[in-house]
Chain A
Amino acid sequence: MTPGVLIATAMLLPVAGAFALLFWDKKPNVREAVTLITGAATFWHVYQLLPLVRSGLRPRLDLFEVLPGVQLAFEVEPLGMVFALVASFLWPITSLYAIGYMRGHHEENQTRFFFFFAVAIAGALGVAFSANLFTLFAFYEVLTLCTFPLVTHHQTEEAKKAGRIYLGILLTTSIGFQLLAIIWTWVLAGTVDFTDGGILAGTASAGVLSAILVLYVFGVGKAAVMPFHRWLPAAMVAPTPVSALLHAVAVVKAGVFTVLKVAVYVFGIDLLATLSATPWLAWVAATTIILGSLVAMTKDNLKARLAYSTISQLSYIVLGAMLANEWGIIGGGMHIAMHAFGKITLFFAAGAVMVAAHERNISQMHGLGRRMPITFGAFFIGALSIIGLPPAGGSWSKWFLGMGTLEAGQVGLLAVLMVSSLLGLYYLLEVPVKAFFFKPPADAHHAEGIHEAPMPMVIAMVVTATATLGLFLYPDLVFELMAMVIPGGAQ
């Protein structure tokens, strides 16, 4: 297959799979098999692109002109490769998990669920592969809209309210700020293509460019920079597989990915470093990191705590971009992968507890660790990665981000990273500690019969937890790809 066909196939497969599973609405086993096979095939196609990208090529697919001078086009560069690999690798695993979860939880409308799930993955891949701002924006919105039915899956009053917040914030920021920034870029630069070294340098005064940067950072609502973060906790009403893959990986990473992409290929880090808005935005991200962690500490509902943890962690990546140096970009890019594996493990575990023990609140999980050792063991590993401790992958991205803050001469930001890790230590490790070492409350209604969640869910958790450990030992691939993003390469 030529590279162009590979790109197209990788994006079309999930869509084709989505429509195929509509056919087997009445046969859940066949339907699930379709999902898994599609997932595996999608990953395989994305993986085929990797050697090309590693050898320095940029596989490209130009479809057609949408507006005069603006094409619907795709180009796989190293940063997009990282994102696409992470999303497409975790999709079949999440599907496996979802099969156990949706059946174990007796969810309704499962066909609709798997349909939109698959379309969302296609949207995420479209974002990852986009060759210009228009294409990126289009798929960004596809992702917003097709995750709406997933967030509101239960169609309850609560889901409706959450759906309003979700759509309201994401569309307000994207149409109100991001699209404005994109059109402004088009007016100034006469192009919206992602280009090495950026396209905006020298097109307008530093003040105007700073304004555009602010519009981009806040306009990418999916990056959940405060004060536009409320949609993410709201989205937690969705079934847990959605929270796991979409609201810890595909959707939120599409956001921070966009920020990185804009930083590197629209502004270019040289220009970014000269703008007065950049350090200011870095501090906005730092504030989000700390506040997110603090709020997370107050949450007893496990999924809500994880959501605020995600908000905090996403801003690490935004911070990395706003450091405007090579280590910040590398650290931010690596954090896309590292956080994805860690956080999805945490969500998998949270969902497993919901299915097996019907518990959502941490205070009710005392003693559960002995009954569900694999689940809480996986949670422990995921937590280590999020905190940034060895032997989990997260330690690498934090290391590089720390180097980035020093290179930028911002010791204060380094302190923020450290403090946030300490907070993480508290609010994440509290869960396995209580589960393993605390006695179950006397009035515990969990019966003796609690045991591990259904097998597909356990397998999925073990895979992602193992991968989290693996990324500590072998971070080379992600590092190598990210180093290719930096003009001139990193030393």
Chain B
Amino acid sequence: MSQHLPVLIVVVPLLLAPLAALVGNWKAAWIVAAAASWWAFGVSIALVRRVLAEGTISYEIGGWAAPYGIEYRIDLVSAFVAMIVATIGAVAIIYARTSVRAEVSEDRGALFYSAFILCFTGLLGISVTGDVFNIFVFLEVSSLSAYALIAMGQDRRALTAAYQYLIMGSVGATFIVIGIGLMYSMTGTLNIADLAERLPAVADNRTIPVAFTFLTVGITLKLALFPLHLWLPNAYTYAPSAVTAFIASTATKVAVYLLLRFFFTVFGAEFSFEQMQLDKVLMPLALVAIVTMSLVAIYQDNVKRLLAYSSVAQIGYMVLGISFASVLGVTAGILHLFNHALMKGALFMAMGCVMYRVGSVRLERMKGLGKKMPWTMAAFVGGGLSLIGVPFTVGFVSKWYLVQAALERGMWPVAAVVMFGSLLAVIYVWKVVEVAYFQEADPDDDIREAPLGLLIPTWALVIASFYFGIDATTTADIATRAAEVLLGVGP
């Protein structure tokens, strides 16, 4: 069976999704979803190990040879991103059991888990497939289910948030499919490896730069790069807590993966960065995102929204790394994909714990929580330290590489902006800390610590964000090798 793992990581959850909807009862649906997530988690680890040992895996669906059939092609980048999605999914599903029960009405439980699996499957599918049209299909699978998941938030504003995301997301997806169509019209192929081979011959034709532009806009919309991030804050704020934690750690990450895949593998770094000068677009936008979005985060009163703006800023870090188009820079970007997934997952989960007990994540409701929910707030501080980039946290590792990449290019002002962003993070993290630890709680409410069903997954991510900050050699090694694969250098 093991040679079929590349496809089974997608097919098994895909088949389980309708099952979850059919069983009707939310408890049974949860078991199905948990099985799907943990299955994918196990397979993703196996795939990473296999890619590390044997190199890129190519799998032909139904035995149809590429480029005629659909090829699943898993190199180190794909495997790594799939692993991030699967890991977060596996943790989030445990968290969801308690959290969703409190936030989503019981009769929708089964549908929720069904949509959750679909979203998860779509994201995994994007990362493992080697076919651009297939990417589009999975993108739609994950996006449509994400809209549904967000709309299930308690707050009625979740509906408008989901609608906003739907419109923006669909525009993005349309741009992407137009880009893909234009490429197809010039090359007659949809297979990534094939495209990469044929594109240079037709690159002089105006159609290809147009396709490139459509893809750039579409993908940056999906990954919420400033100024195309407008859908994100509302979506993250009003979605159910478990959904926010999952989507914030995976959906934009997979969009970053798309950026890497299209601009490095399909078009090639030389075309993207030398001919089209993509870095001239990405770098300034990333820098503006880091500074302005961190500033906006400082002024938020709703902590989930604060974290959402912080996410837009953090996406700036990833894109900044990629825009250097150097091994160090891309390494920094890929590392931050993983690192940010851990820390933001932990932070949103901590906010889910607050939501569970307090019923709101507005700052004024969080007074004195440091005493009342010590473990939850400690988790928040842990994740916050990572966001700041304190040593021994994953955030530090990302910054170490990112600054190095900037200095390697002699761009010390860029390095200074990265540091400046960290300092802004200090402010918005500390804003929450001060309310939770320095303000007296209302003596009337009897708020207790969150249940273990929420604390354990939260702390799992917090501990991971310290573990991979203390021993970053494994992740840094994988990220460096992935960057070398993308840039076509090294072994």
Interface residues of B in 414-455 (CB under 8 A from A): 415-416, 419-420, 422-423, 426, 430, 434, 437-438
Q: Would you call A477 an interface residue if the criterion is a C-beta within 8 Å of the partner chain's C-beta atoms?
A: no
Return chain A residues, CB-CB under 8 Å to B438: 152, 155, 159-160
B403 contacts which chain A residues (CB < 8 A)? Answer: 179-180, 183
The segment out of B83-91, B120-128, B291-299, B390-398 that lies at the interface is B390-398
Pair B400/A67 contact, Cβ less than 8 Å: yes
Asked if A65 and B473 sit within 8 Å, CB to CB, the answer is yes
Nearest chain B CB to A151's CB is how many angstroms away?
A: 12
Tell whether, in the assembled complex, residue A164 and residue B430 are in contact, meaning their CB atoms are under 8 Å apart.
yes
B408 within 8 A of partner (CB): yes
Please measure, in the bound complex, the distance between the C-alpha atom of A65 and the C-alpha atom of B408, giving whole angstroms: 22
Contact indicator B419/A179 (Cβ below 8 Å)? yes
Q: Which residue of A lies closest to B328 (CB)?
A: A187
A175 partner, pick from B389, B397, B437, beta carbons under 8 A? B389
Q: Do B391 and A65 have beta carbons less than 8 Å apart?
A: no
B388 within 8 A of A: yes
B340 beta carbon closer than 8 Å to chain A = no
Question: A141-B391, A160-B438 known; A187 and B407 CB under 8 Å?
Answer: yes
User: Are B437 and A183 touching (Cβ within 8 A)?
Assistant: no
Which parts of B310-346 form the interface with A (CB within 8 Å)?
none
Whether a CB of chain A sits under 8 angstroms from the CB of B476 is yes
In which size bucket is the chain A interface? 20 to 34
- Do A64 and B426 touch across chains, with their CB atoms under 8 A apart? no
- Asked if A390 CB lies within 8 Å of chain B CBs, one says no
Q: How far is the CB of A109 from chain B (nearest CB, A)?
A: 11
Contact code string B454-490 (vs A, CB < 8 Å = 1, else 0): 0000000000000000111100110010000000000
Q: Which of A126-146 contact B (CB under 8 A)?
A: 134, 137-138, 141-142, 145
Q: Of A165-173, A307-315, A478-486, which stretch is located at the interface?
A: A165-173
- The answer to whether B415 touches A183, judged by C-beta atoms less than 8 angstroms apart, is yes
A135 CB to nearest chain B CB (Å): 9
Q: Residue of A at shortest CB range from B434? A: A160
Decide yes or no whether B404 CB sits under 8 A from chain A: yes
Q: Of residues 66 to 97 in A, which have CB atoms within 8 Å of B's CB atoms?
A: 66-68, 72
Q: A67-B397, A137-B391, A160-B438 are in contact. Are A175 and B419 (CB under 8 A)?
A: yes
In the bound complex, residues from chain B placing their C-beta under 8 Å from that of A141 are 390-391
Known pairs A138-B392, A187-B408; A65 contacts B415 (CB<8 A): no
Closest to B472 in A: A67
Interface residues of B in 227-286 (CB under 8 A from A): none
Q: How far is the CA of A186 from the CA of B405 in the complex (A)?
A: 11
**A65 contacts B471, C-beta separation under 8 Å:** yes
**How distant is the Cα of A162 from the Cα of B390 in the complex, in angstroms?**
21
Contact A175 B422 (CB under 8 A): yes
Residues of B within 8 A of A145 (CB): 385, 390
Report whether A68 and B477 are in contact in the complex, using a CB–CB cutoff of 8 Å: yes
What's the Cα separation between A172 and B407 when bound, in Å?
A: 19
Question: Any chain A CB within 8 A of the CB of B304?
Answer: no
Identify B415's interface contact among A64, A72, A134, A180, CB under 8 A: A180
Q: Check: B399 CB closer than 8 A to any chain A CB.
A: yes
Question: With A66-B471, A67-B472, A175-B419 known to touch, is A134 a contact of B391 (CB < 8 Å)?
Answer: yes
Q: Which residues of A contact B407 (CB under 8 A)?
A: 183-184, 187
- CB-CB under 8 A from B430, the residues of chain A are 164, 167
- Report yes or no: B408 in contact with A168, Cβ–Cβ below 8 A: no
CB distance B404 to A187 under 8 Å?
A: yes
A470 at the interface (CB under 8 A from B): no
B416 contact from A68, A159, A180, Cβ within 8 A: A180
**Chain B 161-204: CB-based contact to A (< 8 A → 1; otherwise 0):** 00000000000000000000000000000000000000000000
Tell me which of A65, A72, A142, A172 contacts B423 (CB under 8 A): A172
Identify the closest chain A residue to B437 (Cβ): A155
Known contacts A171-B388, A187-B407, A64 near B419 by CB under 8 Å: no
Task: Give Cα A160 to B433, complex, Å.
Answer: 11
Given contacts A66-B473, A152-B438, A187-B404, contact A175 B391 (CB under 8 A): no
Contacts of A177 in B (CB 8 A): 419
* B423 and A171 within 8 A (CB): yes
Q: Mark A264-296, 1 if CB is under 8 A from B, else 0.
A: 000000000000000000000000000000000
A28 interface hit (Cβ, 8 Å): no
Chain B's closest residue to A138 (CB) is B391
Binary per-residue interface labels of chain B (189-226) against chain A in the complex, 1 for a CB within 8 Å, 0 otherwise:
00000000000000000000000000000000000000
CB neighbours (8 Å) of B420 from chain A are 176
Contact A168/B472 with A183-B404, A183-B407, A183-B415 known, Cβ cut-off 8 Å: no
B385's nearest neighbour on chain A, judged by CB, is: A145
Residues of B within 8 A of A67 (CB): 397, 400, 472-473, 476
- List A contacts of B397 (CB < 8 A): 67
A160 to B437, CA, bound (A): 10
A175-B388 in contact (CB<8A): yes
Contacts of B415 in A (CB 8 A): 180, 183-184
Contact B404 A175 (CB under 8 A): no
B400 to chain A minimum Cβ distance, whole angstroms, is 6
Bound CA span A168–B213, Å: 42
> Which residues in A have their C-beta under 8 angstroms from that of B422?
175-176
A491 CB, nearest partner CB in chain B, Å: 40
Q: Which residues of B contact A65 (CB under 8 A)?
A: 471, 473
Contacts of A176 in B (CB 8 A): 416, 419-420, 422-423
Q: Cα distance A176–B422 when bound, in Å?
A: 8
| A contact residues around B408 at 8 Å (CB) | 187
Contact with A along B360-402 (1 / 0, CB 8 A): 0000000000000000000000000100111110000101100
Interface flags, A35-66, vs B, CB<8A=1, else 0: 00000000000000000000000000000111
Q: How far is the CA of A159 from the CA of B439 in the complex (A)?
A: 12
- Output the nearest chain B residue to A188 by Cβ-Cβ distance: B407
> Taking the nearest CB of chain B, how far is it from the CB of A144, in angstroms?
9
A201-218 residues with Cβ-Cβ distance < 8 A to B are: none
Taking CB as reference atom, which chain B residue is nearest A208? Answer: B412
- A65's nearest neighbour on chain B, judged by CB, is B473
Complex contacts, B476 vs chain A, CB 8 Å: 67-68
Instruction: Write out the residue numbers on chain A whose beta carbons fall within 8 Å of the beta carbon of B477.
Output: 68
Contact of B472 among A66, A137, A159 (CB under 8 A): A66
Q: Considering the chains assembled together, what is the distance between the CA atoms of A184 and B391 in angstroms?
A: 16
Question: Which chain B residues border A64 with CB–CB below 8 Å?
Answer: 471
| CB proximity of B381 to chain A, nearest CB, Å | 9
B390 touching A168, Cβ below 8 Å:
no
Output the least CB separation between A324 and chain B (Å).
25
* B7 to A: closest C-beta gap in Å: 34
Taking the closest CB of chain B, its distance from the CB of A184, in whole angstroms, is: 6
Residues on the B chain within 8 Å of A171, using CB: 388, 423, 426
Report the separation of the CA atoms of residues A163 and B473 in the bound assembly, to the nearest whole angstrom: 35
Closest chain B CB from A347 CB (angstroms): 26
Q: Tell me the nearest residue of chain A to B390, going by C-beta.
A: A141
Residues 58-92 of chain B, each 1 if its beta carbon lies under 8 Å from chain A, else 0: 00000000000000000000000000000000000
**B480 to A, closest residue via Cβ:** A68
Alpha-carbon distance between A194 and B392 when the two chains are bound, in angstroms: 20
Contact B434 A186 (CB under 8 A): no
Measured between beta carbons, the chain B residues less than 8 angstroms from A138 are 391-392
- What residues of chain B lie closer than 8 Å to A167, measured between beta carbons? 426, 430
Q: Which residues of A contact B473 (CB under 8 A)?
A: 65-68
Residues of A within 8 A of B390 (CB): 141, 145
**B residues lining the A interface (CB < 8 Å):** 385, 388-392, 397, 399-400, 403-404, 407-408, 412, 415-416, 419-420, 422-423, 426, 430, 434, 437-438, 470-473, 476-477, 480
Can you sample 17 A-B contacts with CB below 8 Å?
A66-B470, A67-B397, A67-B400, A67-B473, A68-B473, A134-B391, A137-B391, A155-B438, A160-B438, A167-B426, A172-B423, A176-B419, A176-B420, A176-B423, A180-B412, A183-B407, A184-B415
11 more CB-based (< 8 A) A-B contacts, given A164-B430, A171-B426: A65-B471, A66-B472, A67-B400, A68-B473, A134-B391, A142-B391, A145-B385, A172-B426, A175-B426, A176-B416, A180-B412
Q: Which 4 A-B pairs have the closest CB atoms?
A: A138-B391, A183-B403, A187-B407, A160-B438
